[in-house]
Amino acid sequence: MDETSRTRRIAQEYVDRTERRDWDGLSALLDEHVVYEMPQTRERFHGRPTFLRFNQEYPGDWHLRARRVVADGRHAALWVDARVGDEAMDACVWLDLSEDGLITRVTDYWPTSYEPPADRGYPVERW
């Protein structure tokens, strides 16, 4: 398996094992010193234990599904469909992997909905 194929598989597993609350399985994908960043709140955590705890303690009956996995060498981008009850939210997740195929950095974006301008002056569909 080439590097990109391995990255693609690991990125998919990252979402699937988190969704399954398979903490041992998730832990096995992470580098010991994994860095987790949320640029929207300018927060950064270090290390596998804190990373796992953040996920384990995240409130609500959340569910994750990878809508798209884009892998390129030791980088991956995940387009994630996240749901808590009836509420759906998309996440954009950037993964960095080590030479050994362990996740060394996770950068999460959680874009929220907002209202568009009243009139853009050209045809726009809304859904």
Q: Which is nearer to a copy of itself, 20 or 33 (CB)?
A: 33
The answer to whether 71 and 7 are in contact (CB under 8 A) is: yes
* Distance between start and end Cα atoms, the chain: 41
Q: Which is nearer to a copy of itself, 5 or 20 (CB)?
A: 5
Q: Which is nearer to a copy of itself, 20 or 30 (CB)?
A: 30
CB of residue 9 to a copy of itself, shortest distance in Å = 12
CB of residue 102 to a copy of itself, shortest distance in Å = 18
Type of residue numbered 45: F
**Cα gap 34→16, rounded to integer Å:** 18
CB of residue 94 to a copy of itself, shortest distance in Å = 6
Q: Which is nearer to a copy of itself, 40 or 98 (CB)?
A: 40
Q: Where do we find the tokens 């892998």?
A: 71
Q: What is the binding site for a copy of itself (CB under 8 A)?
A: 4, 8, 38-46, 50, 53-54, 57, 68-72, 75-77, 79, 90, 92, 94, 109-116, 120-127
Q: Where do we find the tokens 């959340």?
A: 62
CB of residue 77 to a copy of itself, shortest distance in Å = 3
Q: Which residues contact 6 (CB under 8 A, 6 or more apart)?
A: 101
**C-alpha radius of gyration, the chain, whole number:** 16
